[in-house]
Amino acid sequence: MKHSYVAEVLASQDIHQEFTVKGWVRSFRANQFIALNDGSTINNLQCVVDYENTDPELLKRITVGAAIAVTGILEESQGKGQRVEIKAQTIVIEGDAHPEEVKLTILSPKRHSLEKLREQSHLRVRTNTFGAVMRLRSKLSFAIHQYFNERGFYQAHTPIITGSDAEGAGEMFKITALDLENPPKNEDGSINYKEDFFGKETNLTVSGQLEAETYALGLGKVYTFGPTFRAENSNTSRHLAEFWMIEPEVAFCDLDGNMDLAEDFIKYVVNYVLTHCQDDLAFLENRLVQEDKSKPQAERASMLLREKLQFVVDNNFKRVSYTEAIDILRNSKPNKKKKFKFPINAWGADLQSEHERFLVEKHFECPVILFDYPANIKAFYMRLNEDGKTVRAMDILFPGIGEIVGGSQREERLDVLKEKMAALDIPEEELHWYLDTRRFGTCTHSGFGLGFERLVLFVTGMTNIRDVIPYPRTPGNADI
pLDDT tens digits along 118-153: 999 999 999 999 999 999 999 999 999 999 999 999
pLDDT digits (tens, 9 = 90+) for 4-31: 999 999 999 999 999 999 999 999 999 9
Contact by Cβ (8 Å): 247, 212 = yes
What is the C-alpha separation between 79 and 74, in angstroms, rounded?
A: 14
Straight-line distance from the first to the last Cα atom of the chain, in angstroms, rounded to the nearest whole number: 32
For the ranges 128-132, 170-174, 189-193, 315-319, which has the lowest average pLDDT?
A: 170-174
One DSSP character per residue, 29-64 reads: ETTTEEEEE-SS-SSPEEEE--GGGS-HHHHHH--T
Q: How far is CA 427 from CA 194, 199, 209, 434, 448, in A?
A: 18, 18, 18, 12, 24
Contact by Cβ (8 Å): 349, 328 = no
DSSP state of 175: E
Q: CA triplet 68, 73, 77: central angle to 5 degrees?
A: 95
% of the chain exceeding 90 in pLDDT: 90
Confidence bin at 239 (pLDDT 50/70/90): confident
- By C-alpha distance, which of 262, 226, 266 is closest to 447? 262
Bridge-based pairing of strands 221-229 and 368-374 is: unpaired
Global model pTM greater than 0.85: yes
Domains assigned to the chain: 6-105 (2.40.50.140), 128-171+206-317+366-467 (3.30.930.10)
Residues 6+ apart with CB under 8 A from 125: 39, 131, 134, 470
pLDDT for position 168: 58
pLDDT for position 448: 98
One DSSP character per residue, 82-98 reads: -SEEEEEEEEEEEE---
Model confidence at 166: pLDDT above 80 = no
pLDDT for position 39: 97
Residues 6+ apart with CB under 8 A from 401: 238, 357, 454, 457, 458
Dmax (CA) for the chain in angstroms is 85
pLDDT for position 235: 83
Strand order in the sheet with 202-204: 161-162, 202-204, 174-175
Q: How big, in percent rounded to 5, are the helix, strand and coil portions of the chain?
A: 35, 25, 40
What is the C-alpha separation between 425 and 184, in angstroms, rounded?
A: 27
One DSSP character per residue, 326-354 reads: HHHHHTSHHHHTT-SSS---STTPPPPHH
